[in-house]
Amino acid sequence: MNLKQKYTDLIKEEANRLGFMSCGISKAEFLSDEAPHLEKWLKKNMHGEMSYMENHFDKRLDPTKLVPGSKSVISLLLNYFPSQVQDQNSYKVSKYAYGTDYHFVIKDKLKLLMHFISEEIGDVHGRAFVDSAPVLDKAWAVKSGLGWMGKHTNVLTKQAGSFYFIAELIVDLDLVYDTPVTDHCGACTACIDACPTKAIIEPYTVDGSKCISYFTIELKNEIPSNVHGHFDDWIFGCDVCQDVCPWNRFSKAHSEPLFDPDPQLISMTKKDWQEITEEIFQQLFKKSAVKRTKFSGLKRNINFLKD
């Protein structure tokens, strides 16, 4: 076995030991296929008020500009599908935000993986990324053979659907690269048909500025009145396009205790949400991604549904 294969196998075995669902590797190079799509998406203002999407265009498409000397992108998936979900008659929070903020959980795992690489392989340099820098996570996951891009623009796998986080290590180490898998969406349009705000404007294109996740998390101003009545009781994020996807029949509950929801969150009624105080918000979402919308944002979202 050559060294490249040996190192690749070592990394994948350790990723599995750390609890990642899967690990795929691709060459760190310019994403030529994604460049025109990203440019068109931005020009059509589909990012709404997410102005950060306009920044670092070159770095988004070329990891060697983000991490000088990089040779490989190690893509990792971490399952977050919960074993129990909220009462569907209550206001809804996206499943990824049930437990501890994934940024913290995954960053810790990536640090351990990077430390392992340094210990076992030697002088390897790189950076860890969890949805917090100009990296096109989904594109790298697809390029690394971890799944295909669904029509809702979430990465899909036959084995587990799409309820997982994507993260990367970009390193200056030559490894054996994986190849993309084929698309298995076929003629299905379940996600497009079910989107409450018609944000999936065509297969494989989501107008971010029309998405419920955008309105409830990213948008800092008032939610426009023309989407009133189309939120399907979501107050933080939205899982509709994933919930209706046939491939998510195969989702299995995660095994990460930090992603387990607070029992209080699962049992909250609409009345509980309407009466939530800042104190309860801070206590309940102390380490949660829900903190991103702040108490004032959550109250705005609740009141928008209540009005």
> Torsion angle, CA of 24/27/28/30, rounded to 10 degrees?
-120
The residue length of the chain stands at: 307
> Is the CB of residue 162 less than 8 Å from the CB of residue 155?
yes
> Is the CB of residue 298 less than 8 Å from the CB of residue 236?
yes
Judged by DSSP in three states, 169 sits in strand
Element (H, E) at 66: helix 63-66
Quick check: is 239 catalytic?
A: no
- Residue 126's DSSP bridge partners are 171
252-266 core/surface letters (b: 16 or more CB in 10 A; e: else): eebebeebbbbeebb
> Is the CB of residue 171 less than 8 Å from the CB of residue 70?
yes
Marked catalytic residue, from 62, 131, 174, 262:
131
Q: DSSP label at 76? A: E
- Just list the catalytic residues: 131
